[in-house]
Amino acid sequence: MRIEIWADVVCAWAYIGKRRLEAALADPALDGVPVEVVWRPFRIDPTAPAQAVPIEEMYRDPMVDAALSRCAPDLSPAENRVRVSEIAAEEGLGPRWGAAWRADTHDAHRLLALAFEHDGAARQDAVAERVMKAHFIEGRDISDREVLVAIAAEAGFADGVALLDAGAGEDTVTELLLTGKARGVATSPTIVVGDRALAGAQPAEVIRDFLLQGGRRRELPEEVERLRYAESLLDQRDPLGALVLLRPLLDEHGDDRNVRMLAARAYFTSAQLGRARTTLEGLVADSPDDSYARHLLGRTLQRQGLTAEAAPHLSMAAAMTPDFA
C-alpha cells in the first residue's frame, strides 16, 4: 500500500501527523501490510521570502493568516499555535517546541523529492524527519543551504547537496505541486491512499481505520492521467499550471487532438493569443466541422482585434451548434 503525505514541512500539523501515522502503522491491525510512505510537496506559505525572517515578524503580518489557515483551516492562527504546542507535547515532540524562522521551503521540498527519486521512500522519510525536527525543535533556518547540507548528511543522503546545487528537482517539485492541486489537495497534511484522501492530522486510530479501508485507483496510462490533471487545473482557472503539465505531452504527443485542444484552451485563457490562434487554425484545418474549435478560433481573432476574420468562424460555429450563437 502506497501512502502519500501531501504536506508542507513548515506546517506543524504535518509533523504531528507524521507521529500519528507512525502510531497508526504500529497498530497490530496493520501487521503484515506492506507499506510505502511517500512525501509530496504542498506550500502553505508560497510568499515566504527567499531570505528567512524571524517567525515573530510573520505573526505580525495579517497577510500571512490566510496562508496559515491552509495548515489548520478550522482554527485561527493564534488558536492554532496554542493548540499545536499542546498536541506536540502530547505526541512527544520536544522538549523544546516552536519554529524560529519564516522560511521558504522550496529547496527542502526539492531535497525530499530527490531523496525519494535516488534512494527511495525510507531515505525520504528520514530526510522529512530531519527537516521538520530542524525547523520545529532545533529552531534552524531550513531555507539556508548550509542547514540543508547538514540535514542531508544526518539523514544519510549526502549526495542530495550536489543534486540541489545542480538544480535537480526543480521540475519535479513544480509538477508535483500542480498535481496535488489538480487532485484537490487543499490542506496540509493530506494523506492519500489510492483514490481516497484524509485531510488533516487526524488521531492515530482514525488514520488506522482509514488505512484499513485501503483505496483503489484506476490505473491509467501516464499521459492520460497527465492530460486529466492539466484539464483539472484549467477548470480551476490555472491555465499556466495546465500548460506546465501539458509540456511533455506537447513534446511527445503534439499531434494528438485532445492535447492540442487543451493547449489551445489554456493559451486562450492565459491570453497567449498568438499561440492559441496558431493551434486553433491547425485544429480547424484538420476538422472543419469541429464547431467548438471554430468558435474558439473566432473568439481568439476577436480578442486580437481581427473582427472581420473572426466573423465567418463565429457564424459557422453558431450554425453547427446554436449554443454558440
What residues pair up with 37 in beta bridges, in sequence order?
Answer: 3
Where do the domains of the chain lie? 2-212, 222-324
- For the segment 230-269, what is each residue's pLDDT rounded down to a tens digit? 999 999 999 999 999 999 999 999 999 999 999 999 999 9
What residues pair up with 196 in beta bridges, in sequence order?
Answer: 193
Phi, psi of 193 (to 5 degrees): -130, 115
Helix pair angle (257-269, 222-235), 10° resolution: 20
| pLDDT tens sequence for the chain (325 residues) | 999 999 999 999 999 999 999 999 999 999 989 999 999 999 999 989 999 999 887 766 666 666 666 676 676 666 777 788 889 988 889 788 989 999 999 999 999 999 999 999 999 999 999 999 999 999 999 999 999 999 999 999 999 999 999 999 999 999 999 999 999 999 999 999 998 999 999 999 999 999 999 877 777 899 999 999 999 999 999 999 999 999 999 999 999 999 999 999 999 999 999 999 999 999 999 999 999 999 999 999 999 999 999 999 999 999 999 998 8
- Whole-angstrom CA distances from 132 to 12, 141, 243, 272, 279 are 8, 11, 32, 41, 46
- CATH for 2-212, options being 3.40.50.10680, 3.40.50.720, 3.40.50.150, 3.40.30.10: 3.40.30.10
Grid cell 478550522 in the structure block, residue: 74
Rounded distance, CA 280 to CA 234, Å? Answer: 17
Whether the full predicted model's pTM is greater than 0.85, yes or no, is: yes
Grid cell 485561527 in the structure block, residue: 76
Q: Which three cell numbers stand for residue 142?
A: 531550513
Homologous superfamily (CATH) of 222-324 is Tetratricopeptide repeat domain (1.25.40.10)
Three-class DSSP category at 121: helix
